[in-house]
């Protein structure tokens, strides 16, 4: 074989091997690219595309509420909030009436006797000692009045009981001879049924006794609360009030302090005027009872004096006791005269004393007075009725004071500023 043929074969073999190597490399690269693309496809298949929610413009028109309905709705929800707050306060007061009512009575007593404390302080006595002397003196006066009235009732109770027995016998005769023509057996049957109703209700009697015992306990506790609270109101009233004012926010402390002072002024004036009115009512009814020789004059006077602290109806209700006593002891004619005397005293109070003494101090409508008394009776009974009107008068004075102050401040802000002062020449400083 020649050299040329060998070279040609060698070259053809190298070319063949080169082609095989290139084909193998191309196949390997294709396999790699295919594997990469296949892995990318598989990865894309496993990735979940996020759900996208797109919105557009609303196809509903805006609701247009008339101004009247909008205003009524605004007032309505505010009214509901106020009523709910008032209900919560009323429930709280009723739950703690054993504490709240004695504190209110102590506040009224402190407003009544604080001038005596100020007088003793001006005589160079310590304020604490002055308050103690005034509280003890007030307690002694009340004890003397109750003792005198109780002794009069005790001495005349036997005579009054005889009059009651005589009156019951007269009623018995009237039932037999009057228009009813009741027989003796019917009358005895009514009496026996009443006795059976009383004797057969032992459980109710025990329950009543338990309630009376609980009420006596509350009265004793309330008495001591009134005693100590009155002393501390008189001795440390200024410091107690300053502590209360600090509870308010800083921006409201000035208004709270001025409102409290206005309420205290109104309360003291109201209590003093009410004491004068009550004393006049008691004195007038006692004079009428003395003229008609009705027994228990002092007890009637004390009862009328206490009842007169309930405006409009207190003295009338307490004066009706004098009419009943006159009816039992002196007969129908004297009872009618006693009723006329009570009505005359009430007319003098309503048309002379009330407008003159209380007209400028308590600017509360009579309907507001009646509602305040009703709320006081519901929350605290007789004691609640005693403190309802003065507290309502104080609240009314505070509202009027805040309204006047707000109007004054608004007018001061709206008042146009005056001309600016002329500048002073440098040489005239």
Residue 336 has which token pair? 């009618």
Q: How far apart are CA 170 and CA 4, in angstroms?
A: 174
Residue 404 has which token pair? 């006047």
Percent of the chain with pLDDT over 90: 3
User: How far apart are the two ends of the chain, measured CA to CA in Å?
Assistant: 138
Element (H, E) at 376: helix 366-414
- For the ranges 172-176, 270-274, 322-326, the lowest mean pLDDT is seen at 172-176
User: Has residue 272 got a pLDDT over 90?
Assistant: no
Question: Does residue 428 lie within any of the structural domains?
Answer: no
Q: Kindly state the average pLDDT of the residues 405-413.
A: 76
pLDDT for residue 81: 94
User: What is the pLDDT of the chain when averaged over all its residues?
Assistant: 75
User: Are 383 and 310 contacting, i.e. CB atoms less than 8 angstroms apart?
Assistant: no
Q: What is the DSSP letter of 350?
A: I
Rg over alpha carbons for the chain, rounded to the nearest Å, is: 46
Question: Does residue 241 lie within any of the structural domains?
Answer: no
User: Has residue 429 got a pLDDT over 50?
Assistant: no
Q: How far is CA 98 from the centre of its chain?
A: 14
Q: Kindly state the average pLDDT of the residues 328-342.
A: 82
CA distances from 41 to 29, 49, 78, 147 (A): 18, 14, 65, 110
Domain span holding position 396? 249-411
pLDDT for residue 252: 84
Percent of the chain with pLDDT over 70: 67
**At 118, is the secondary structure helix, strand, or coil?**
helix
Count other C-beta atoms under 10 Å from residue 112's C-beta. Answer: 17
pLDDT for residue 175: 62
User: Are 333 and 387 contacting, i.e. CB atoms less than 8 angstroms apart?
Assistant: no
How does residue 412 score in pLDDT terms, banded at 50, 70 and 90?
confident
- For the ranges 41-55, 267-281, 288-302, 382-396, the lowest mean pLDDT is seen at 41-55
Q: How far apart are CA 341 and CA 351, in angstroms?
A: 15
Q: Kindly state the average pLDDT of the residues 262-283.
A: 83
Question: Does residue 58 lie within any of the structural domains?
Answer: no
pLDDT tens for each residue of 40-97: 766 665 555 565 666 666 666 666 778 888 889 889 999 999 999 988 887 887 788 7
User: Has residue 340 got a pLDDT over 80?
Assistant: yes
Question: Does residue 181 lie within any of the structural domains?
Answer: no
Residue 17 has which token pair? 């091997």
- For the ranges 19-28, 69-78, 164-173, 391-400, the lowest mean pLDDT is seen at 164-173
Q: Kindly state the average pLDDT of the residues 378-397.
A: 77
User: Has residue 34 got a pLDDT over 60?
Assistant: yes
pLDDT tens for each residue of 116-140: 898 888 888 898 888 999 999 988 8
- For the ranges 18-32, 35-49, 89-103, the lowest mean pLDDT is seen at 35-49
pTM for the complete prediction?
0.62
Nearest C-alpha neighbor of 263 from the set 278, 235, 244:
244
Question: Does residue 325 lie within any of the structural domains?
Answer: yes
pLDDT for residue 76: 93
Question: Does residue 98 lie within any of the structural domains?
Answer: no
User: Are 307 and 321 contacting, i.e. CB atoms less than 8 angstroms apart?
Assistant: no
Question: Does residue 361 lie within any of the structural domains?
Answer: yes
Q: How far is CA 33 from the centre of its chain?
A: 88
pLDDT for residue 84: 93
Number of DSSP helices (H) and strands (E) in the chain, helices first: 11, 0
Nearest C-alpha neighbor of 373 from the set 389, 393, 358:
389
Question: Does residue 88 lie within any of the structural domains?
Answer: no
Counted domains in the chain: 1
How does residue 198 score in pLDDT terms, banded at 50, 70 and 90?
very low
pLDDT for residue 205: 46
């Amino acid at each position: 074989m020649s050299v040329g043929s060998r070279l040609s074969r060698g070259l053809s073999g190298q070319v063949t091997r080169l082609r095989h190597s290139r084909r193998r490399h191309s196949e390997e690269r294709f396999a790699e690219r295919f594997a990469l693309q296949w892995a990318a496809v598989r990865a894309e298949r496993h990735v979940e595309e996020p759900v996208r929610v797109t919105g557009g413009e609303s196809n509903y028109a805006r609701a247009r509420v008339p101004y009247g309905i909008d205003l009524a709705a605004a007032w309505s929800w505010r009214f509901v909030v106020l009523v709910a707050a008032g209900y919560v306060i009323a429930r709280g007061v009723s739950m703690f009436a054993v504490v709240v009512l004695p504190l209110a009575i102590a506040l009224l007593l402190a407003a009544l006797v604080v001038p005596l404390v100020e007088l003793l302080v001006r005589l160079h006595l310590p304020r604490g000692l002055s308050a103690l002397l005034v509280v003890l003196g007030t307690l002694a006066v009340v004890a003397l009045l109750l003792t005198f009235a109780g002794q009069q009732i005790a001495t005349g109770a036997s005579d009054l009981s005889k009059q009651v027995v005589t009156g019951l016998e007269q009623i018995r005769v009237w039932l037999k001879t009057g228009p009813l023509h009741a027989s003796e057996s019917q009358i005895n049957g009514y009496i026996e049924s009443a006795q059976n109703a009383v004797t057969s209700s032992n459980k109710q009697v025990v329950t009543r006794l338990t309630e009376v015992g609980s009420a006596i306990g509350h009265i004793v506790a309330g008495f001591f609360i009134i005693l100590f609270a009155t002393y501390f109101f008189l001795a440390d009233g200024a410091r107690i009030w300053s502590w209360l004012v600090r509870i308010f926010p800083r921006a409201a402390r000035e208004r709270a302090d001025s409102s409290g002072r206005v309420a205290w002024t109104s309360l003291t004036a109201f209590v003093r005027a009410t004491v004068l009115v009550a004393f006049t009512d008691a004195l007038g009814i006692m004079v009428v009872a003395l003229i008609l020789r009705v027994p228990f004059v002092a007890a009637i006077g004390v009862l009328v004096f206490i009842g007169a602290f309930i405006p409009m109806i207190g003295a009338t209700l307490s004066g009706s006791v004098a009419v009943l006593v006159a009816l039992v002891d002196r007969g129908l004619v004297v009872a009618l005269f006693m009723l006329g005397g009570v009505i005359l005293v009430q007319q003098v109070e309503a048309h002379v004393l009330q407008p003159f003494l209380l007209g400028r101090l308590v600017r509360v409508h009579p309907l507001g007075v009646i509602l305040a008394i009703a709320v006081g009776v519901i929350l605290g009974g007789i004691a609640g009725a005693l403190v309802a009107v003065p507290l309502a008068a104080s609240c009314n004075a505070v509202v009027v004071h805040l309204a006047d102050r707000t109007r004054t401040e608004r007018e001061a802000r709206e008042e146009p500023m005056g001309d600016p002062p002329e500048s002073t020449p440098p040489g005239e400083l």
